[in-house]
Structure 1
Amino acid sequence: MYYNCGVGGYISGIAKDKKTKLTTAMATIGGAGLDWHDVKSYLRPNGLLSYSTLNDGSNKLIFNNYPGGKVFDAVVLQDNSQGPIHPELKKFFEKYAAIHSKDIRATGAEPVFLMTWAYADRPEMTKQLADATIKVANDNKAMVIPVGLAFANALKDRPDLKMTVADNRHPTAAGSYLEGAVIYAALTHSSPEGANFLGGCEKPLAQKDAQFLQSIAWKTVKDFYGWK
């Protein structure tokens, strides 16, 4: 999630271009599993998004007030790239998925599980990660965002478009863009198609690639949820 300056920037860029009001925050630890994160602490009213900085050059702070203590509508949980299916780590994914889901709901938000993508040299991981993530989400009555399926669909249609960097795991700018587009589509129930945003972090995509990824994101999300 933190690659290419963070997927939050991609989600926000698409949302702004589509005139969708959406505020995001990200808490990430490199290589972490869900068991490394104190999600309950993140969600306290003086935790994440307790203040923000105006983006007008003034550096002025705005302190946010959250009546009733609810900060977020949804909290997207992502384990490390192999956590849900690793023989020694999956028990921690399952345990902390339940703990975090309970803590998230206690604040009035809903837990959401992000399905990650296969390593470039291990395409069989797509189904394995999908099955493991869906099972844990079902156990906790939570939503799944099918990013891994979108990666597989993109590679099927455009094998020339590289989705991961040299380590075969972390996303290229195209991968981060697709991840952001899928998250946007799933959370807002609306298509990212037509957005002119081409990516951030000084890594803008070619327009035809961004349009292709928008289309893949929307089709994957619609197919996954059975939307018409």
Structure 2
Amino acid sequence: MKKHHYLLLICSIIFSTASASGKKLKVLFLGNSYTYVNNLPQMTANIAASMGDTLVWDINAPGGQQISGHFSDRVSIGKIKQGGWDNVVLQCQSQETALPDNSVQTDVYPYITLLDSVIKRHNPCAETILYMTWGRKNGDADMCAAYTPQWPYFCSYQQMDSIIRVRYTKMANDNKSVVSPVGAVKHYVRLNYPSIELYQSDESHPSVEGTYAAACAFYTTLFGKDASAAKYDGGLSASVAANIRTAAKKVAYDSLSYWNIGKYKLRADFSYTAIGQQVSFKNNSANAISYNWDLGDGQTSTLSAPSHTYANPGTYIVRMIATNTTCADTTYTTLQLNPTEIKGPSSIDDLVFPNPAHDELNIANMMFVNGDCTITILDNIGKLVYRQPGKPQLIQKINIAHLSAGIYYLQVSNTNTRKTFTFIKE
């Protein structure tokens, strides 16, 4: 009888996500005093720097400027046309988004759309970000007197803040833009940390605390990251700064999709699972239509989620470029495949991952290597829902996207042995 001895070089199972250590963005801010008071762009840049990111910014923010004024402002249009921006921020005058519908429909909505079209024409990969402002501390008494009773939305903070939020949300959805939820973060601070003063004495412009709240919201909006770990306090006490960052996390970071953060932006991202020198890549990109992979050993792929077996252990830099019709985004990660020599049957047996699983399930089992076997899946009442022969390789990947959510029993069997595993399909 011929004997077979297996010498396997395997490494620990590794789960990893590709992510750059820091991101650099170039952002143009167009607004008025709500943007330039306390230097909101620089405060946002300081928060970013404390998190290992870089914000390069420019600004045009004449005092009292309405959004229509930016469309006719040569400086604003000139800066947009310079091109190369990752994001352009648009901030309306603080009262105009709380005016009655007919005024907003004539003097606000069309100019957001016009500016957005100029941004897209000269910066096809840029996102337009709408800077949601806030209600005056106690409402706007002059505007309340002028518009009541037909339009009471200036008469209290709550009413003014609510209508401003409605208007910015509508503009973002109508123009496929992003909201920087500054007003919503401040609303949370007012409710949960009432001792934090967000206003200057005019009850309109932001205090340093108010600008710090805005900067935390903008950091999350621009970089898609949680600002609560930032090490820059903006000159505030550590406790006040931490409370404001908590508000930004609760409102902005925990509800990214509500504010359209990341919803429309092209994003390259992937994770991987490695067993031995066999690596399976999972594509986590957004809004892409094609992919180009450099697997780091001279091999390439255009598959959405390739699998690859490396000839030798070592360190490999893997690059993925995700593209849509006009733009490309690139991400990298480093694979470190460090082998351990194991002779004979391996303890890597009986491994099913991820568990719970969504679309794909991986099985690592020596039975695949040692001989012919079959993979079957039974549902929780014992009905056969999947069957296929195993391949002669240590790891098998099977597609379970067609299965309904629930508990399943996976069996790997040959003529002599049957092994059963339980997994959850999400």
TM-score by length of 1: 0.82
Q: Which amino acid aligns with 2:115?
A: H
Q: Which has the higher strand share?
A: 2
Contact 1:31–1:80 (CA under 8 A) maintained in structure 2: yes
Q: Does 1:79 align with 2:79?
A: no
Contact 2:225–2:253 (CA under 8 A) maintained in structure 1: no
CA distance in 1, matches of 2:228, 2:199: 22
Q: Which amino acid aligns with 1:172?
A: S
Q: Which has the higher helix share?
A: 1
CA drift of 1:211 comes to 0.9
CA drift of 1:123 comes to 2.4
CA drift of 1:223 comes to 4.0
Q: Does 1:207 align with 2:235?
A: no
Contact 2:136–2:160 (CA under 8 A) maintained in structure 1: yes
- Equivalent in 26, 30, 37 of residue 63 of structure 2: 30
Which digits, 9 at most, give the CA deviation of each residue in 1:75-120, with x for residues without a partner?
0100011111223752211121011000001122221111111111
CA drift of 1:181 comes to 0.6
State the secondary structure of the residue aligned to 2:78: helix
2:127 aligns with 110
CA distance in 1, matches of 2:86, 2:42: 18
Alpha carbons of 1:97 and 1:25: their partners in 2 closer, same or farther (altered >3 Å)?
same
1:95 aligns with 110
CA drift of 1:166 comes to 1.2
CA drift of 1:72 comes to 0.5
CA drift of 1:222 comes to 2.9
- Equivalent in 43, 46, 51 of residue 13 of structure 1: 46
CA distance in 2, matches of 1:32, 1:98: 17
CA distance in 1, matches of 2:96, 2:254: 26
Q: Which amino acid aligns with 2:97?
A: P
Q: Which runs of 5+ in 2 are unaligned?
A: 1-34, 139-156, 259-426
Contact 2:135–2:160 (CA under 8 A) maintained in structure 1: yes
Which digits, 9 at most, give the CA deviation of each residue in 1:126-160, with x for residues without a partner?
21111011111211111111111110100101111
- Equivalent in 40, 58, 65 of residue 77 of structure 2: 40
* RCO higher in structure (CA 8 A, sep ≥6): 1
CA distance in 2, matches of 1:192, 1:137: 22
CA distance in 2, matches of 1:92, 1:41: 22
Runs (4 or more) in structure 1 with deviation over 3 Å come to: none
CA drift of 1:193 comes to 1.5
CA drift of 1:40 comes to 2.6
Contact 2:131–2:181 (CA under 8 A) maintained in structure 1: yes
Q: Does 1:3 align with 2:34?
A: no
CA drift of 1:22 comes to 2.1
Q: Which runs of 5+ in 1 are unaligned?
A: 46-69
State the secondary structure of the residue aligned to 2:55: coil
Contact 2:81–2:119 (CA under 8 A) maintained in structure 1: no
Give matches, 1:122-137, under 5 Å.
122-137=157-172
1:153 aligns with 188
State the secondary structure of the residue aligned to 2:162: helix
Q: Of the two, which has the highest radius of gyration?
A: 2
Which digits, 9 at most, give the CA deviation of each residue in 1:3-28, with x for residues without a partner?
11x10111011011111122122210
CA distance in 2, matches of 1:89, 1:7: 28
Give matches, 1:177-196, under 5 Å.
177-196=212-231
Contact 1:84–1:129 (CA under 8 A) maintained in structure 2: yes
Please say which of residues 148-157 and 83-92 is displaced more in the overlay.
83-92
Task: Calculate the aligned-residue CA RMSD, in Å.
Answer: 1.5
State the secondary structure of the residue aligned to 2:129: strand
Alpha carbons of 1:223 and 1:207: their partners in 2 closer, same or farther (altered >3 Å)?
same
Contact 1:146–1:224 (CA under 8 A) maintained in structure 2: no
Q: Which amino acid aligns with 1:187?
A: L
